[in-house]
Structure 1
Amino acid sequence: MRPVKKVALLHDLCCVGKAALMNMMPILSVMGIEACPIPTILLSTHTGGYKTPAISHIPGDYIRNCADHYKKEQISFDAIFIGYLGSVQIIDSVIYFIEQFPDTMVIFDPIMGDHGQYYSNFDASYGKAMRKLLPYADVILPNLTECYLLTGKEYQITGNHRNVLPLCKELRKYGNFDMVITSVPKDDCKKGIVLYEDNAFLYIGNGEVLSEYHGTGDAFDGMFLSKLLQGYSLLESVQASHAFVCACIQESQKFDYPEREGLLIEKTLRRLV
């Protein structure tokens, strides 16, 4: 029996700007989880606030070969995390990877848009292709925008968080997964969280007005995955992740530094040790 849990992270590697793997891996490590990165795309920086980064797309064959090698070496994982993929071309390879570990929990964050629209390098064809991954997921972690993009519905935002419920039911047509939906407004709460588990619908609000930083979603994902692998419930994992991200934001707000450098997770990580 392994002394620590092990997770495969299929996500982008963003060298400067603290996002993606660079946020998730230290959080998982501090929380006692072995993080095994399988990069889907390499970037010199994240794409917010920096000029066009150096980019190298990882071939789908690499991801398939990783899966084959791990199977040959009898390497197994306690969870597989699917994050930013960057291109339609590797989706089938990601599915192949998942299929080699059929009994492994899959957490899927369909990173492709925010604020009601796709990121500039994606369009509706990408959203449609991403739906192919939904049947393999045990839990999905979209923001509100990505919920709309996955369903193909026109984006709308109101103060009534119950409007998310039809989206949850629509997404459930693709698979029997639980959902954690971020950036859901309600009345005076700008960014709350909807938890949809076993057809139970719960809203978690935040009374504070907090600044936005690059990499908060990845910090949330890293803590959520850590707590889930430690045996906590979905609700407990969401609450811990929400609290951690809020603490990181509050710490970041103490300093005057370029926003593009992302969330200051380092100082907050010390509290977890």
Structure 2
Amino acid sequence: MKPIKKIALLHDLCGVGKAALTNMMPILSIMGIEACPIPTMLLSTHTGGYGLPATLKIPGSYIRQCADHFKSQHVEFDAIFIGYLGHPDIIDAVIYFVEQFPGTRVIMDPIMGDHGSYYRNFDDSYGLALRKLLPFADIILPNLTECFLLTGRPFQITGDHRNVLALCRELQAYGAKDIVITSVPKDDCQKGIVLYEDQAFLYLGNGEMLGEYHGTGDAFDGMFLSKLLTGHTLLESVQASHAFVCACIRESEKYTYPEREGLLIEKTLRKLV
């Protein structure tokens, strides 16, 4: 019996500014999960607040060759995470990667936008391309904006959960299975979470007003994967992830430093040991 779980992370790597792989890997490691990075894009910094970063697109051929190499060496994963891909040319290669590991649980965060619009380097063609990945994912982790972008609907901030339920059903029609949606407002809660599991709809609210930091979603994803891979339910994994992110934000708010440096996870990580 293997002593630890192993997960493949198809995600971007930023040199400065805590985000993506640099946030997820330490969380997974300290939680006892072996994190295996397969970078999809290299950036000198994340894309918020540092100007235009130096970037290098990882070609799809590299992703395919990684899959082939792993298969030839009988490498197995307990899960595959699909995160920030950066360019649509790589999507077919990601599908190829997933197909080489049939039966492996796939979790996807379709990172492409927030606050009602695409990030500056994406447009509708990218959202349409990402939709091709939905049938391959067992769980997707979009924020509310990304739900609208995946469906092609115009964004609206709504506290009416019948609209969110309609989004979930439309995403299922495109092939999605279980869905966790973040940043869903309702009443006095601006950052609630929706779980849509086995067609059951659940809203988790939080009346606490907390700040926003770069890398928060990656911290959420890292803890979510850690809990999921150690046998926790979808609800338990979401609750633990939310609690961890809130703890990181509270710690970050104790200090004055440039927003672009992102979420302070280091001090909170020590409390997990």
TM over 0.5: yes
Instruction: Look up the match of 1:140.
Output: 140
Q: Give the 3-state SS of the residue equivalent to 2:22 in structure 1.
A: helix
Asked if structure 1 preserves the Cα contact closer than 8 Å seen for 2:140 and 2:176, the reply is: no
Instruction: Look up the match of 1:262.
Output: 262
Q: Give the 3-state SS of the residue equivalent to 1:122 in structure 2.
A: coil
Separation in structure 1 between the aligned mates of residue 81 and residue 152 of structure 2, nearest angstrom: 24
Asked if structure 2 preserves the Cα contact closer than 8 Å seen for 1:160 and 1:187, the reply is: no
Separation in structure 2 between the aligned mates of residue 259 and residue 123 of structure 1, nearest angstrom: 26
Q: Give the 3-state SS of the residue equivalent to 1:38 in structure 2.
A: strand
Instruction: Look up the match of 1:181.
Output: 181
Shift of 1:174: 1.9
Instruction: Look up the match of 1:231.
Output: 231
TM-score by length of 2: 0.99
Gaps (5+ residues) in structure 1? none
Separation in structure 2 between the aligned mates of residue 18 and residue 2 of structure 1, nearest angstrom: 31
1:65 is the counterpart of 2:62? no
Separation in structure 2 between the aligned mates of residue 158 and residue 51 of structure 1, nearest angstrom: 32
Map residues 106-185 of structure 1 onto 2, 5 A cutoff: 106-175=106-175, 177-185=177-185
Shift of 1:187: 0.7
Instruction: Look up the match of 1:206.
Output: 206
Separation in structure 2 between the aligned mates of residue 92 and residue 38 of structure 1, nearest angstrom: 15
Instruction: Look up the match of 2:220.
Output: 220
1:75 is the counterpart of 2:75? yes
Asked if structure 1 preserves the Cα contact closer than 8 Å seen for 2:13 and 2:41, the reply is: yes
- One-letter amino acid of the counterpart of residue 33, structure 2: I
Separation in structure 2 between the aligned mates of residue 174 and residue 148 of structure 1, nearest angstrom: 13
**What CA deviation, in whole Å up to 9, does each residue of 1:109-129 have, x standing for no partner?**
000010111111111010000
Q: Give the 3-state SS of the residue equivalent to 1:272 in structure 2.
A: coil
Q: Give the 3-state SS of the residue equivalent to 1:85 in structure 2.
A: coil
Asked if structure 2 preserves the Cα contact closer than 8 Å seen for 1:113 and 1:145, the reply is: yes
Structure 1 ranges of 4+ moved more than 4 A: none
Indicate the RMSD between aligned Cα atoms, in angstroms.
0.7
Asked if structure 1 preserves the Cα contact closer than 8 Å seen for 2:112 and 2:122, the reply is: yes
Separation in structure 2 between the aligned mates of residue 182 and residue 203 of structure 1, nearest angstrom: 10
Instruction: Look up the match of 2:244.
Output: 244
Corresponding pairs, count:
273
Q: Give the 3-state SS of the residue equivalent to 2:92 in structure 1.
A: helix
Separation in structure 2 between the aligned mates of residue 22 and residue 54 of structure 1, nearest angstrom: 17
**What CA deviation, in whole Å up to 9, does each residue of 1:101-151 have, x standing for no partner?**
011000000000101111111110100000100000000000000000001
Separation in structure 2 between the aligned mates of residue 114 and residue 11 of structure 1, nearest angstrom: 18
Gaps (5+ residues) in structure 2? none
TM-score by length of 1: 0.99
- One-letter amino acid of the counterpart of residue 65, structure 1: Q
Shift of 1:157: 0.8
Instruction: Look up the match of 2:6.
Output: 6
Instruction: Look up the match of 1:55.
Output: 55
1:253 is the counterpart of 2:253? yes
- One-letter amino acid of the counterpart of residue 231, structure 1: G
**What CA deviation, in whole Å up to 9, does each residue of 1:12-45 have, x standing for no partner?**
0011100000000000000000000000000000
Shift of 1:176: 5.0
Shift of 1:159: 2.3
